[in-house]
Structures are given as C-alpha cells and as structure tokens.
Amino acid sequence: MKVIFTIAVVFFWAACTDQTQNLNSPGTNAGAKGSTKSTSNFGDYNVGLSVSTDGTLYTYTITKNSGAKDLSHFIINLQNCGDQSATFNDILWATLNGQSVNWVDTEGQGTGCDPQSITSNFVKFENLGSTSTYVIVVKFDRGYSQTTTTGWLKAGTSCNSGAVPGPGCPIVEKYCSMSQGYYFSNGSKNNGSDSVWTAAGGVTVGLFNYTHAEGMAIWTTNTGKGNNAVIRAFFQYAAIILSGTDYSSDPALAAAMATIQTYYSNPSLPKVTSTNCVSTKTFTTPFNDPTGAVQNAGGVIGDWVDKHECPTN
C-alpha cells in the first residue's frame, strides 16, 4: 500500500509541473511576457509598422497567428525620447481598419495590463473587435523617428507585453522660415535681415520685385491702417522666399505658395505699394480676395512658420 501511494503522488506532482510549464511557454515573440493565467500570449500576434516619409503617419498592422483570440485593446508606450517624446496630445487622429477607433491615455483596473508600472505617457486603442487583421493608423502633429518600445496586447483574460516599434525622437526639420515680421517690421533694419534682402537682390512676388524699403513701407501701411488679408499673404509668401525654404516636400505648404504666386502673377494687378495696398474712403484697393483662397493660403503659411520658425542665432 505504501508503494502504490508513493507512485500516485509522484504522478500527480509531475502532471502539475508539466501544466505550469505549458502555461508559461513563450510565444513567437522573444522577450514577451504573459501571465501564468493567460489565455493568450504576446507571440500569438505579429505587430508590423510602416511609417510615412515625414514620420507623421504610423500604420500598425497586427495579424493573428493560428488559434489566436480577438484583441480587446493595444497599448503603446510613447515615452521614448525624454522630454521630446511624443504624447497623447500630439496625436491628431486615429483609425481602425479605416473606421474611427477609441483611443485614450488611461488604463483601468482589472484588465491585467499595467502600463503605468513603467510610464504615464502611453496611448491605448480599445474595443478593437473581431477581425483577422487590425490596421491601426495614427497621425501625429509632427514627424517622429521609429524606435523600439513596449506594447501591450489585451486578449481574453490576459494582457501580455513585449517589444513593438513605436515613435522615438522628433525628426529634425531640414527646412524652416523666419517670420514675416523679421523681414518687414521696423526692427528688420537692425535684426540682420537687411543683409538677407541685399544678398537676395530683393524678393519677387508674382510679376514684381520688391526692395527691403518698399516691403517695410507696405508693412507699415497695412498693419497701421488696413490689415488687408491679401497683403498679409504677400508678406507670408515673401518670408518663405527670403528664408530660402525648400517647401516642395510639404504638399499643403507648396499648394499655399502656389495659390499666392498665381494671384500676384495676374497681369491686371499693379505692383503692390504703400499707397494702393489698402482701401480708404476715396480709394478701393485692387488687392481683394472674393473667394478667400488667398487669405486661407496665407493662414496655412503662417501656421507652418509658427511650427518651423528658424532660430535667430
């Protein structure tokens, strides 16, 4: 009887040991971690990423291996470049398989996921639903280089973490522009921009070339009396040209520049001067914008310069 009892205990202990090893076995993604109570593993999924040339559009493609469960949510650690890291607020929009998706910067209790254990800077895409492939597109407000970070995949009762590609440090812009005030305001005679005007031989807008003195005179009249939006667009366009900005790689900026160039290339328009740029009680300026296209183009350039202003030293 003693011998039979001992053998039974040995078999029972061995069976329990094998079961624990199976639950802890790693998936196809090396280094991924899963709970011993998980019903899925990080390696049950393949996480791929493609990034647009300018680094603003991140397209994640998550596919399920055979037998993998549907995903509940996907979390990405954004804290990958110190105080220059991308943040939740830098995300403009996101989609799942071409449709809107819920994305938040919090993770509740009881999910098994714990991104807060390593960072408070993360984004969670939730309620992913049932599909064979999850294509999550994330649009950032600026470009970020790709790096390796931590991701979490929630499926069933388990939440597993592992290495995934993600946004790293901001891409250093290869182009910038000084502001319109730098080239046209009263202070532009003393801030170093006069040498830029001289070296460039003035600036050509549309059909006419303008000297620094002419530009300053137009600026003084427009800012003091009229604030004509069409003339503001003139200044925005000229600032990009004087800065030597290569705007060809930015479609929106290039389109705005083309709109203003086309407008001022109209042969029926005279050269802009300090006396014809704004309307008065007895004079109506020929520089008007019935459709608002030129004003909008100037706004696009202004917004771009705000984000890409060149350093002054």
- Note whether residue 162 is domain-resident: yes
**Predicted local distance difference test score (pLDDT) of residue 173:** 57
pLDDT at 252: 94
Say what the pLDDT of residue 174 is: 55
Answer with the one of 170, 198, 230 that is the final residue of a domain.
170
Which pLDDT does position 298 carry in this prediction?
A: 96
Using the 8-state DSSP alphabet, how is residue 249 labeled?
T
* DSSP 8-class letter at 110: T
- The answer to whether residue 254 is domain-embedded is yes
Please check whether residue 188 lies inside any domain of the structure.
yes
Parallel, antiparallel, or unpaired for β 158-170 and 102-104? unpaired
- Kindly state whether residues 162 and 96 are assigned to the same domain: yes
CATH of the domain at 84: 2.60.40
Q: How far apart are CA 297 and CA 300, in angstroms?
A: 5
User: What is the predicted pLDDT for the residue at 69?
Assistant: 93
Please state the φ and ψ torsions of residue 238, each to the nearest 5 degrees: -65, -35
Range of the domain at 228: 180-307
Rama region for 96: left / alpha / beta (φ>0; ψ in -120 to 50; rest)? beta
Phi (first) and psi of residue 62, to 5 degrees: -110, 120
Question: Which residues share a beta bridge with 203?
Answer: 210
- Check whether residue 154 and residue 38 sit in a common domain: yes
Spatial separation of the C-alpha atoms in residues 266 and 289, rounded to whole Å: 13
Q: What is the pLDDT of residue 157?
A: 87
The reported pLDDT for the residue numbered 224 is 74
**Within a domain: residue 175?**
no
The rounded distance, in Å, linking the Cα atoms of 264 and 298 is 13
Position 293, amino acid:
A
Position 267: which residue type? P
The per-residue pLDDT string of the chain (313 residues; one tens digit each, 9 = 90 and over) reads: 444 433 333 333 333 333 322 222 233 343 444 444 447 889 999 999 999 988 899 999 999 999 899 999 999 999 999 999 999 999 999 999 999 999 999 987 778 898 999 999 999 999 999 999 999 999 999 889 999 999 999 998 889 999 999 999 988 655 788 999 999 998 888 888 898 999 899 999 999 999 999 999 999 999 876 689 999 999 999 999 999 888 887 899 999 999 999 999 999 999 999 999 988 888 889 999 999 999 999 999 999 999 888 876 5
Q: CA 140, CA 171: separation in Å to the nearest integer?
A: 12
Rg (CA), the chain: 30
Scan for tokens 């994640």, then name that residue.
60
Q: Which two tokens stand for residue 43?
A: 């390696």
For residue 158, which of 300, 255, 39, 69 has the smallest C-alpha distance?
A: 39
Instruction: Give the domain-ending residue among 136, 170, 204.
Output: 170
Q: Examine the domain organization and report whether 123 and 191 are in the same domain.
A: no
Domain boundary among 148, 170, 192: 170
Return d(Cα 97, Cα 166) in angstroms, integer. Answer: 19
- Phi/psi of residue 209, nearest 5 degrees: -100, 145
Close Cβ partners of 90 (under 8 Å, ≥ 6 residues apart): 140, 141, 142
Residue 19: its pLDDT value, please? 31
Go through the chain and tell me how many residues it has: 313
Number of domains in the chain: 2
226 and 287 housed in the same domain: yes
Task: Report how far residue 298's alpha carbon sits from residue 295's, in angstroms, rounded to the nearest whole number.
Answer: 5
- In this structure, is residue 226 part of a structural domain? yes
The answer for residues whose C-beta is within 8 angstroms of residue 285's C-beta and 6 or more apart is: 226, 228, 276, 277, 278, 279
Q: Are 143 and 171 in contact (CB under 8 A)?
A: yes
pLDDT of residue 226: 66
| Strand bridging mode 99-100 / 45-51 | unpaired
| 289 located within any domain | yes
